[in-house]
Amino acid sequence: MSRYFSWNEFDKSVDYIANKYKFKKFSGVYGVPRGGLCLAVALSHKLNIKLIEKPLKNSLIVDDIFETGFTLGNLKNIEGANFFVLVSKKKPIWWNTVFLSYKKEWIVFPWENKKNEFNEEKEYYNKRGLN
C-alpha cells in the first residue's frame, strides 16, 4: 500500500512545524541526509535560522520519516535538541510528527526518484518481512 506525499502536504507541514517553533531560539536546523534535507532547508528559510552541517546543542533536527528509530535514536541525546519528522510509523515519544502512518504503508515523497519507486518499495517489504 503506497501513500504519495505531495508538495502541497510538504508546504503545509513546513508551516505547521514553523508555527510550533516560531518563538523558540535554535542554534540551527539539521536535516538527516537524505530525507531530512528538503525539510531542513525549507524550515531554515521559514524560521530564518541557519542550516547546519551536523546536529548541535539546542538545534532543530528533522527527517522525512521515523520508522525504526535507529537514525534519530543515535541523535536523541544531543542537549536541548528538538526532533520533528514529517511521517512517523510509531506514536511519538521524544520526537514530534506531522502525520502518523501504518507500519505497512509505503510513503513516496515528492523529491524521490519515481523510476526507483517499485524496487525500493519491494526492498522495504522484503527487509521487514511484510510481503
Residue 9 in this model has a pLDDT that exceeds 70:
yes
**Element of type H or E holding 9:** helix 7-20
pLDDT at 102: 80
Phi/psi for 111 (5° steps) reads -90, 0
- In sequence order, what are the residues at sequence separation of 6 or more whose Cβ sits closer than 8 angstroms to the Cβ of residue 93? none
The average pLDDT across 13-32 equals: 97
Mean pLDDT confidence for 26-43: 96
Read off the pLDDT of residues 49-77 as tens digits, 9 standing for 90 and up: 999 999 999 999 999 999 989 999 999 99
Long-range Cβ contact pairs of 20-27 (< 8 A, separation 24 or more): 20/84, 20/96, 21/47, 21/60, 21/82, 22/47, 24/82, 25/58, 26/58, 26/59, 26/60, 26/82, 27/52, 27/56, 27/57, 27/58, 27/59
Please choose, from the candidates 43, 41, 36, 35, the residue with its C-alpha nearest in 3D space to the C-alpha of residue 17: 43
Q: What is the pLDDT of residues 87-131, one digit of tens each?
A: 999 999 999 999 999 877 888 898 886 666 666 666 666 666 766
Using alpha carbons, select from 65, 102, 105, 72 the residue that is nearest to residue 86.
65
Domains of the chain: 2-128 (3.40.50.2020)
- Taking residues 71-86, what's their average pLDDT? 96
pLDDT of residue 105: 84
Which one is predicted more confidently, 102 or 21? 21
pLDDT of residue 2: 77
